[in-house]
């Protein structure tokens, strides 16, 4: 197995770990300012958001709570069908809570639009979204993101939580994936 530097499936670096860290610190400060009076419940969308949420949470100097849910979209390869299913639900009752959904990447926006509808039905006091990455030019649903880390070009990327076939999540940078199409 090849190591990161010479992995032929990895293309150019889109964001270095250092660039991400700097932006996540800014996002954390922004969230802390906005939620100073009512610390949020961070809802991480697994698995992709696990790295981002862990860094973001440590950059919010407030007593936040953390929960996770896992969703899977039906459909093959590197695109979303828009049909989403909850694989692991939250432990927390959202009634009256200030919920901040933490997402790795928004592509079509269909996953997010499903999640929003689903979570809003649970009567939170507020519901906002923080997405690390937004891929340009692909949105098929209104995004309405309260916080966005970066806009990236329309290429499939891996690293910092993002995978292909469950690999590359532990890559510290975000890089273009240029290997074979993933198997579903
Ligand atoms: P959407 O429903 O089209 O917005 O897709 C969002 C989900 O697809 C994300 O939460 C990711 O899990 C996955 N995804 C979209 N683009 C990428 C990518 O470039 N790399 C890895 N996963 C991606
Ligand atoms: Mg994924």
E strand or H helix at 33, and its extent? helix 17-34
CA dist list (Å): 16 to 27, 132, 156: 17, 13, 16
Alpha carbon nearest to ligand 1 atom 11, residue: 105
Q: pLDDT tens digits, residue range 9-45?
A: 999 999 999 999 999 999 999 999 999 999 999 999 9
Q: For ligand 1, is residue 40 a contact (CB within 6 Å)?
A: no
CA dist list (Å): 97 to 36, 38, 92: 14, 9, 10
Alpha carbon nearest to ligand 1 atom 15, residue: 107
E strand or H helix at 34, and its extent? helix 17-34
Q: For ligand 1, is residue 106 a contact (CB within 6 Å)?
A: yes
- pLDDT number for residue 138: 75
Q: For ligand 1, is residue 110 a contact (CB within 6 Å)?
A: yes
- pLDDT number for residue 5: 75
- Residue matched to tokens 């300012």: 33
Task: Look up residue 176 and give its two tokens.
Answer: 């273009």
Question: Active site residue: 55, 104, 107, 173, which one?
Answer: 107
- In angstroms, the CA 40 to CA 143 distance is 20
With beta carbons less than 8 A apart as the criterion, state whether 153 and 138 touch: no
- pLDDT number for residue 80: 61
- pLDDT number for residue 34: 98
- pLDDT number for residue 136: 87
Average pLDDT estimate for 114-142: 92
- Residue 99 — very low, low, confident or very high, per pLDDT cuts 50/70/90? very high
Alpha carbon nearest to ligand 1 atom 21, residue: 162
Q: For ligand 1, is residue 149 a contact (CB within 6 Å)?
A: no
Check whether 92 has a pLDDT greater than 90: yes
Higher pLDDT, 143 or 166: 166
With beta carbons less than 8 A apart as the criterion, state whether 62 and 35 touch: yes
- Residue 79 — very low, low, confident or very high, per pLDDT cuts 50/70/90? low
> Would you list the DSSP string of 50-112?
HHHHHHHHHT--S--EEEEEEEEE-SSTTS--S-EEEEE--SS--TT-EEEEEEEEESSSHHH
Of ligand 1's listed atoms, the one at least distance from the Cα of 80 is 3
Q: Which of 63-77, 103-117, 156-170 has the lowest mean pLDDT?
A: 63-77
Average pLDDT estimate for 152-161: 96
Q: How many residues does the chain have?
A: 184
Of ligand 1's listed atoms, the one at least distance from the Cα of 139 is 4
CA dist list (Å): 117 to 34, 82, 124, 128, 138: 23, 13, 12, 12, 20
User: Would you call 107 a catalytic residue per the annotation?
Assistant: yes
Domains belonging to the chain, first-starting first, are: 24-156 (3.40.50.2020)
How many C-beta neighbours within 10 Å does residue 172 have? 14
Check whether 78 has a pLDDT greater than 80: no
Average pLDDT estimate for 41-62: 97
Average pLDDT estimate for 68-89: 78
Check whether 82 has a pLDDT greater than 80: no
Check whether 2 has a pLDDT greater than 60: no
The whole-model pTM stands at 0.93
- pLDDT number for residue 22: 98
């Amino acid at each position: 197995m090849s190591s990161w530097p010479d992995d032929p499936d990895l293309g150019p670096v889109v964001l270095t770990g250092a660039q991400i860290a700097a932006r996540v610190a800014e996002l954390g400060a922004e969230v802390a300012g906005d939620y100073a009076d009512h610390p949020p419940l961070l809802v991480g969308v697994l698995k992709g958001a696990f790295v981002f949420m862990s860094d973001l949470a440590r950059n919010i100097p407030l007593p936040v709570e953390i929960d996770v849910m896992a969703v899977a979209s039906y459909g093959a390869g590197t695109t979303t069908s828009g049909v989403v299913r909850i694989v692991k639900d939250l432990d927390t009752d959202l009634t009256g809570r200030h919920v901040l959904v933490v997402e790795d990447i928004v592509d079509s926006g269909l996953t997010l639009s499903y999640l929003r509808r689903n979570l809003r039905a649970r009567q939170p006091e507020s519901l906002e979204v923080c997405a690390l990455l937004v891929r340009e030019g692909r949105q098929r649903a209104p995004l309405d993101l309260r916080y966005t880390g970066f806009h990236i070009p329309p290429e499939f990327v891996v690293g910092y939580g993002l995978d292909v076939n469950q690999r590359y999540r532990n890559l510290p940078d975000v890089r273009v994936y240029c290997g074979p199409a993933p198997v579903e």
